[in-house]
């Protein structure tokens, strides 16, 4: 685990938090975070593996209605692909 104050697992410089079949990726203090839903899993070599994930890039602005916060979506077939695109989405706003 990366050394940080809150103890969150970090991936490519952003916190990664999982609760059951939902993953939240990014800093709540930034403009956007990515919400990842694990929709399907398959057992591969005795290990439960995500095979269908839906991603939502969401604004962290509490003044927006919940459905207006979502401004980008995608669907991926592996957690690696999902985190790769989520990282790109967040990195664009980190540097701007």
For 77-88, the pLDDT digits (tens) are 999 999 999 999
pTM, two decimal places: 0.84
pLDDT at 6 over 80: no
Q: What percent of the chain has pLDDT over 70?
A: 92
Cβ atoms of residues 79 and 86 within 8 Å: no
pLDDT at position 96 is 53
Report, as an integer, the average pLDDT of 29-53.
94
Characterize 68-94 residue by residue with b for buried, 16 or more Cβ atoms within 10 angstroms of its Cβ, and e for exposed: ebeeeebebeeeeebbebbbebbeeee
What is the average pLDDT score of the chain? Answer: 90
pLDDT at position 5 is 57
């Amino acid at each position: 685990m990366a050394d940080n104050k809150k103890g969150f697992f970090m991936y490519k410089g952003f916190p990664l938090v999982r609760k059951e079949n939902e993953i939240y990726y990014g800093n709540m203090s930034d403009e956007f975070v990515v919400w990842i839903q694990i929709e399907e899993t398959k057992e591969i070599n005795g290990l439960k593996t995500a095979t269908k994930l839906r991603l939502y890039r969401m604004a962290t602005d509490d003044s927006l209605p919940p459905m207006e916060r979502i401004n980008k979506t995608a669907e991926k077939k592996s957690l690696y692909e999902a985190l790769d695109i989520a990282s790109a989405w967040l990195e664009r706003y980190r540097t701007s």
